[in-house]
Amino acid sequence: MNSSSTAQVLDVEVEREDLEPRLRRTWQSGKGIWGALTTVDHKIIARRYIVTAFVFLALGGVLALVMRVQLAFPEARFLSADRYNQIFTTHGSNMMFLFAVPVMEAMGVYLVPLMVGTRNIAFPRLNAFSYWIFLAGGLVLWIAVALDAAPDVGWFAYVPLSGPEYGAGKRADIWAQMITFTELSALAVAVEIVVTVFKQRAPGMSLDRIPVFVWSMLVTSFLVIIAMPAIMFASSSLILDRLVGTHFYNPAEGGDVLLWQHLFWFFGHPEVYIIFLPAVGMVSAMISPFSQRPVFGYLALVIALIATGLLSFGLWVHHMFVAGLPPSGSSFFTASSMAIAIPAGTQIFCFLATLWSGRPIFKTPMLFVIGFLITFVMGGMTGVMVASVPLDTQVHDTYFVVAHFHYVLVGGAVFPLVGAIYYWFPKMTGRMMSEKLGRIVFGMIFAGFHLTFFPMHILGLAGMPRRVYTYPPELPWSGMNLFVSVSAFVLAAGFGLFFIDAIRSLRSGKVAGPNPWNCASLEWATASPPPPYNFARIPVVQSRDPLWQASSELPVATGLRVDRRELVVSSVVAAEPEARESSPADSIWPLVAALATTVMLIGSMFSAWAVVWGAVPIAIALTCWFWPKRTPEDES
Amino acid sequence: MKEKVVLDLSHLPLHATGTASLTFWGTSAFMLIEGSGFALAIAVYLYLMANAPSWPLNAPPPDLLPGTILTVLLLASLVPNLLVTRWAGQRDLRKVRIGLVIMSIFGIVPLVPRIFEFPALNIRWDDNAYGSILWVMLGLHTTHILTDLADTLVLTCLMFSRHGDNLRRYGDVEDNALYWNFVVATWLPLYGCIYWIPRL
Amino acid sequence: MKQVSIVSCLFLAVFTAGCTGVQSALDPRGPAAADLLRIILFFVFVCTSVFLLVMGALVWSLLRKPSREESKGAQERQISVVVTAAIVSTAAIIVLLTVVSFTSDRFPEYKEASSAAILARGEQWWWRFDYDGDDRSPGFQTANELHIPVGQDVRLRLQATDVIHSFWVPSLAGKQDLVPGRDNTITLHAERPGIYRGQCAEFCGLQHAHMALEVVAQEPEAYRQWVESQRRSAVVSQVAAVIAGRDVFMRKPCIAGRDVFMRKPCAACHTIRGTEAKGTSGPDLTHVASRRLLAAGVLQNSAGSLAAWIADPQTIKPGNNMPLVPMTSEELRQVTAFLETLR
């Protein structure tokens, strides 16, 4: 017979003023170090993720400044060629794999459960595991940097340069395995988000009522699920070529050099949308309260997100236009690369329509939304240019492309992200950041960014290739490079001020209530910061903008237990409640499994047998992880 | 913000199976990830084949016997797999225990022909790219079998333990059986690729 | 007037002495690059216009003060119409740009048949050029300096021996990669005589930044003379130089230098046609003194630079594949003098 406890304690059986303390006892993470190592609270894990990602941003930014010092003068000797090549490789790899994707995933991990009205993310222990794996991957890369063993083959690690013949030492293996760590982490989070969004939404929150940000995280998660296997295959086969003598990329034995590029970019192009789509979702969220109306064109925005996601798989060859592929094939990819401007444009037009028909409030997050609109649209314009094969034959692999992707990545993702930090900081910490400093930060970052990156368009057209550690004085690039280098410090100072404000505000920022910006989505219905159980009673949703529609009284549901961690499972489309489900308690096994996985992955850079031996501790850790305990959470 | 109670959830079950189970969706997502990986491996195989002057590259096609035996075994295993799913749905503990023991055996036995499949490929992974992709495809699928086998063995132990008679466990059995279907299903195109494309 | 023109000539000589070839997509010197610049400018024009329109809409949206009485439903419908129109316009512009891009892919036929095919091979970190021979005369190999006749299509076959490189001379054409295991081609066509600089445009390792090349476009007669002189072997050139009375004072050091070259590991990597030196891993030095630059664009070619390069290549271009060959300063002087005769 079922081992159900006879003593279920439902929330209705408890006095209202005892409800929250009871829930807190059930949902609270442990204290101290042990609590930190065993927590499965999505909010704690997400905050860790966000802070770690921003540390990587700062480190990557320092690398950029070091590069710009080297490039400020022609034939400078500040950095050796070897060190420069390690630095630009690490800068790119760090920014893409250790900052951009993780921070977007982390914002999703924090916000999605709150926005859909549930108490924790799906698979909370997997969530904890994914953070430790992410951290391990970052440490692998940065310890290598400290040991002068950083990868030096570019963030894209083209073969044969990264292959067994020309990639000496372990540098390329470190790059490839860092990929494995970060992909594992991202895939785990993607699975959690898909299941949270599909099955844990508050009753009544049908698919056409979920916030656009949640849609963006859902589409992004599917992109991760389908695209990341490509880079996993690529990086693993690279290690195999280097370690055990396979010939995937060896043309002398039936392999193909361009196979690497196909595999890498099949992942690499969706990767940039994995970074961009959550940012678009953030803009959709922020633009609404600061225009004092719901964002315009919900259906168009959702379709645009899905279209962008689907199309993003059909663009990858535009990174290979000069590799010598048949011209008719390349032309197809010109058409598809240009076509993706249509859903992107749709999103921009919906945002403009929101601003036009709304009443703008110029708080700091809104400034960054405006910065996004200006900068990303410019990046999109140069994107359309590089999509053209003939045009690309001149600007590919030059500073023009460096300018383009910084415009779309910084403009399209970082600006919304910084705005989002100002926006959700009160929710996450209970305090406001400084409006006054926020304006200065925006000004410095905006001006610093354009002054740094706009001249690079000209440098590229004027003949300066990329990934060069220096350039000759006879060519007319010196003045512009010096200008760019000086401007980079303005940009960096802007970020520095941002970090200072964030740290300062944690302690002494103005205390924030539940809904300081007067927003409509569910995360603003609970306290700032939210209690461990998110909502004392799960909200019942009747519109797309629950808090505006409800105005004074929020409809809620009762009937969940307070003596075990419990949340609601609902149907995929209409969010009709189907079951009460338990949410796992704190556990040390995610950390143990992560340590075992880390040992195996590091070992496998040196010997293929590490996979075999390393699998044993992992299997033991996973068994302990899943072995049921006699807790109320196991009851059914 | 004040609250108004409009819905009572207390009548809902403490756990549900099928599409109302979170682990069903988690397993499905995992299948999508693995499926993408296998699809890519097949794509790499076809790409290398399109590039090659002749195929297989400097080797005879793989011997058919071990691979075909394995295929037959895997297909046969679908029958007890289906039964275990049904019994788990009926929450019949005794039958589920028997079924899981059978599935554990069906997880171990195919490993024997699989061991013979590697040399039957008639090429080493470091001979050329054709050898490399064959060994990777076979290796990936072997990892697949091994991880599901480990899962099945642990589940079998669980069903014999005091935790066994619990709706959650029956749900786990159904998820595990679903995943085994996937292990068999992914093998079929791989089998076609490895053994029959070179013979076309 | 005469003084002014003499002074300005001197000025010009001083400035152009260290002058480099032009390397810019914005400064086309051939029909292909000119076509590409036209596409670039067209795209810039269209994209800038679109950008300004969108920014105008943004500014208007931010500054506009909506009146409260506007009916929400009617307004939403109006906005939908405008947004739909914007999306359709975007699609139309995209189609236009795509079509323009496609039609520009096919370059117009240029007059004159191709001259002899040239094989360009990218190596870490220099360029090897092989000119085909014909029935009467042998082919020859040179490094980093490509001569082409003006006014003709010149086809280059592109091969890579080690890693991926990319051949890019922006003033003449777009770039094309050199991929190991693949044979790519590129066509160059210079309108006027001149020196056009290029650089490897695919990260190829340590000294990727110092892998430059120069394309020297010459009038057909001058080009023919250059080809003739390159075809000659070193002995012939040297004898000719000595007979011509040049380098009389250098005769002894030249001959001693030849011995140094053959004795030291130099001959293991370098070829000098007409001598025993037949190494192939490094650049062909048969006419090294005729080249403008050394070490793939790192140094001007002068006696001093050549000596410095031979004395310590690793300090000048760290990590490159030429080892430091120990020699006395006398040997260095001699071998430099010898190489200087190889015009």
Query: According to the model, what pLDDT value does residue C9 have?
Result: 45
CB-CB under 8 Å, A166 with C105: no
Cross-chain CB nearest to A322 (options C83, C104, C177): C177
> C-alpha dihedral over A524, A527, A532, A535, to 10 degrees?
-60
More confident residue, B105 or C111: B105
A568, B22: Cβ pair inside 8 Å? no
Chain B residues closer than 8 Å to A244 by CB: 125-126
Chain B CB contacts of A159 below 8 Å: none
Q: Specify the range with the lowest mean pLDDT, choosing from A24-38, A498-512, C65-79.
A: C65-79
Contact list in C for residue A324 (CB cut-off 8 A) is 158, 176-177, 179, 182, 184
Nearest by CB to residue A257, choosing from C48, C51, C179, is C179
Q: Report chain C residues whose CB lies below 8 A from the CB of A394.
A: 25, 33, 36, 40, 170, 174-175
| pLDDT level of residue C8 (50, 70, 90 thresholds) | very low
Is the pLDDT confidence value at B149 over 50? yes
Which of A86-100, A583-597, C59-73 has the least mean pLDDT? C59-73
User: So what's the pLDDT on residue C291?
Assistant: 95
How are the residues of chain A apportioned to helix, strand and coil, as percentages rounded to the nearest 5?
65, 5, 30
Cα–Cα distance list, A226 to A128, A185, A313, A601, B34 (Å): 22, 15, 9, 22, 9
Contacts of A259 in chain B (CB under 8 A): 44, 47-48
Q: What is the pLDDT of residues C14-48, one digit of tens each?
A: 344 346 789 999 999 999 999 999 999 999 999 99
- A542: closest chain B residue by CA: B6
Is B25 near chain A, with CB under 8 Å?
yes
Nearest in space to C275 (alpha carbons), one of C239, C229, C310: C239
Beta carbons of B25 and A580 less than 8 Å apart: no
Question: Is the pLDDT confidence value at B166 over 60?
Answer: yes
Which chains contact B through at least 3 pairs of Cβ atoms less than 8 Å apart? A
User: What is the predicted pLDDT for the residue at C133?
Assistant: 82
Please tell me which of the candidates A3, A198, A203 has its beta carbon nearest to residue B7.
A203
Per-residue pLDDT band for A28 (boundaries 50, 70, 90) equals very high
Query: pLDDT (tens digit, 9 = 90+) per residue, C332-342?
Result: 999 999 999 89
Could C61 and A160 be called an inter-chain contact, meaning their C-beta atoms sit closer than 8 Å?
no
Q: What is the DSSP string of chain B?
A: -EEEEEEE-TTS-S---GGG-HHHHHHHHHHHHHHHHHHHHHHHHHHHHHHSSSSSTTSPPPPSHHHHHHHHHHHHHHHHHHHHHHHHHHT-HHHHHHHHHHHHHHHHTTHHHHHHHHHHTSS-TTT-HHHHHHHHHHHHHHHHHHHHHHHHHHHHHHHHSTT-SSHHHHHHHHHHHHHHHHHHHHHHHHHIIIIIGGG-
Q: What is the pLDDT of residue A248?
A: 97
C66/A297 CB distance under 8 A:
no
Q: For residue C234, what pLDDT is reported?
A: 81
Q: Which residues of C touch A299 (CB under 8 A)?
A: none
Judge contact between C127 and C143, C-beta under 8 A.
yes
CATH of B21-199, one of 1.20.1250.20, 1.20.120.80, 3.90.870.30, 3.40.50.720: 1.20.120.80
**Which residues are C199's β-sheet partners?**
C212
**pLDDT bucket at C4, cuts 50 / 70 / 90:** very low
Tokens representing A579 are 């079951």
How many CB pairs below 8 Å do chains A and C form together? 222
Whether the per-residue pLDDT at A386 is higher than 60: the answer is yes
pLDDT at A549: 87
Strands C145-149, C212-218: parallel, antiparallel or unpaired by DSSP? parallel
> Chain A within 8 Å of B5 (Cβ-Cβ)?
yes
Rounded Cα distance between A485 and A170, Å, is 32
- Cβ of C55 within 8 Å of Cβ of A468? The answer is no
Buried b (16+ CB within 10 A) or exposed e, A252-280: ebbbbbbbbbbbbbbbbbbbbbbbbbbbb
**First vs last C-alpha separation in chain A:** 11
Q: Span A452-479, mean pLDDT? A: 97
Q: Where are the alpha helices (DSSP H) in chain C?
A: 2-17, 31-63, 72-105, 220-231, 234-243, 251-263, 266-269, 303-311, 313-316, 329-340
Q: Which of A120, A169, A168, A117 is nearest to A543 (CA)?
A: A117
Chain B, nearest residue to A565 by Cα: B14
Nearest chain C residue (CA) to A293: C72
Ordered structural domains, chain C, with CATH: 2-109 (no CATH), 118-227 (2.60.40.420), 234-340 (2.60.40.420)
CA distance, residue A196 to nearest chain C CA (Å): 32
CA distance C334 to C250: 9
Cβ neighbour number for residue C234 with a 10 Å cutoff? 22
Task: Inform me whether the pLDDT recorded for A6 exceeds 60.
Answer: no
Output phi, psi for A97, to 5 deg: -95, -30
Which residues between 146 and 165 in chain B have a beta carbon less than 8 angstroms from any beta carbon of chain A? 150, 154, 158, 163, 165
Q: Please answer whether residues A99 and A271 qualify as being in contact, where contact means their C-beta atoms are separated by less than 8 angstroms.
A: no
Residues 274-293 of A with CB under 8 A from B: none
Determine the Cα–Cα distance for residues C155 and C171; give it in Å rounded to an integer.
16
A-chain residue closest to B25, CA distance: A195
Which of the following CATH numbers is that of domain A11-634: 1.20.210.10, 3.40.47.10, 3.40.630.30, 3.40.50.12780? 1.20.210.10
Residues of chain C positioned with their CB less than 8 A from the CB of A165: 162
Q: Please report where in the chains the tokens 């069906």 appear, as a residue.
A: B106
Task: Show the tokens assigned to B170.
Answer: 């029956």
pLDDT classification of C249: cutoffs 50, 70, 90: low
Report the distance separating Cα A224 and Cα A222, nearest Å.
Answer: 5
pLDDT at C191 over 70: yes
> Cβ of A254 and B29 within 8 Å?
no
Could you tell me which chain A residue has the CA closest to the CA of B136? A237
The answer to whether C333 touches C341, Cβ cutoff 8 Å, is no
**Residue A50 near residue A418 (C-beta atoms within 8 A):** no
CB contact under 8 A, C98 and A391: no
Question: How many distinct helices (H) and strands (E) make up chain C?
Answer: 10, 12
Q: CA of B168, closest CA in chain A: separation in Å? A: 7
Q: Which two tokens stand for residue A596?
A: 């075992």
Residues in A closer than 8 angstroms to B1, CB to CB, are: 514, 525, 547, 550, 552-554
Distance separating the N- and C-terminal Cα atoms of chain B = 70
Place of tokens 């009871």: A22
* Local confidence band at C109 (pLDDT 50, 70, 90 cut-offs): very low
Asked if the Cβ–Cβ distance from B163 to A634 is below 8 Å, we say: yes
Residues whose CB is less than 8 angstroms from the CB of residue A15 and which lie 6 or more positions away in sequence, other chains included: none
Give residue-wise pLDDT tens across range C57-84: 999 999 988 776 666 778 889 999 999 9
Residue C341 dihedral angles phi and psi, to the nearest 5° = -85, -10
Judged against a pLDDT cut of 80, whether residue A551 lies above it is answered with no
> Which member of C83, C163, C197 has the closest CB to residue A297?
C83
Q: What pLDDT score does C244 carry?
A: 56
CA nearest to A395, candidates A467, A320, A460, A473: A460
**What does residue A437 show for φ and ψ, rounded to 5 degrees?**
-65, -35
| Stretch A390-410: mean pLDDT | 97
pLDDT band of residue B2 (cuts 50, 70, 90) is confident
How far, CA to CA in Å, does A21 sit from each of A9, A13, A24, A40, A339? Answer: 14, 14, 5, 19, 54
d(CA B91, CA B97): 11
Q: What H or E segment, with its residue span, contains residue A265?
A: helix A257-287
**Percentage of chain A surpassing pLDDT 90?**
95
Alpha-carbon distances of A494 from A369, A442, A536, rounded to whole Å: 17, 7, 40
pLDDT greater than 60 at residue C108:
no
Cβ-contact A191, A225 below 8 angstroms: yes
- Preferred mutation among A262, A293, A394, A397 to probe C, highest tally of C CBs within 10 A: A394
| Amino acid present at A197 | V
Q: How far apart are CA C235 and CA A64, in angstroms?
A: 53
Q: Which of A16, A11, A5, A47 is nearest to A27 (CA)?
A: A11
- Is the sign of the CA dihedral A433, A438, A440, A442 positive or negative? positive
Query: Using CA atoms, how far apart are residues C141 and C284, in angstroms rounded to an integer?
Result: 6
Q: Residue C146 corresponds to which amino acid?
A: L
Is the Cβ–Cβ distance between A330 and A305 less than 8 Å?
A: no
In percent, how much of chain C has pLDDT > 90? 72
- pLDDT number for residue A273: 97
Per residue in A105-120, pLDDT (tens digit) is 999 999 999 999 999 9
C-contacting chains (≥3 CB pairs under 8 Å): A
pLDDT score recorded for residue A7: 75
What is the share, in percent, of chain B residues with pLDDT greater than 70?
A: 100
pLDDT at A319 over 80: yes
Q: Which of A251, A323, A398 sits opposite C177 (nearest CB)?
A: A323
Which residues of chain A does B156 touch, with a Cβ-Cβ cutoff of 8 Å?
Answer: none
Per-residue pLDDT for A176 more than 80? yes
Q: Which of B14, B148, B160 to mutate to test the interface with A (most CBs of A within 10 A)?
A: B14
CB contact under 8 A, C181 and A252: yes
User: Does B69 reach chain A within 8 Å, measured CB to CB?
Assistant: no
Mean pLDDT of B175-179: 96
State mean pLDDT over A160-186: 96
pLDDT of amino acid C19: 62
Domain boundaries, chain B: 21-199
Task: Inform me whether the pLDDT recorded for B12 exceeds 80.
Answer: yes
What percent of chain A clears pLDDT 70, i.e. is strictly above it?
99
Interface contact B18, partner A, CB < 8 A: no
- pTM over the 0.90 mark: yes
What's the confidence (pLDDT) of residue B118?
97
Tokens of B37: 């990986």
Computed over every residue of chain A, the mean pLDDT equals: 96
Question: Cα–Cα distance between A7 and A382 in angstroms, integer?
Answer: 65
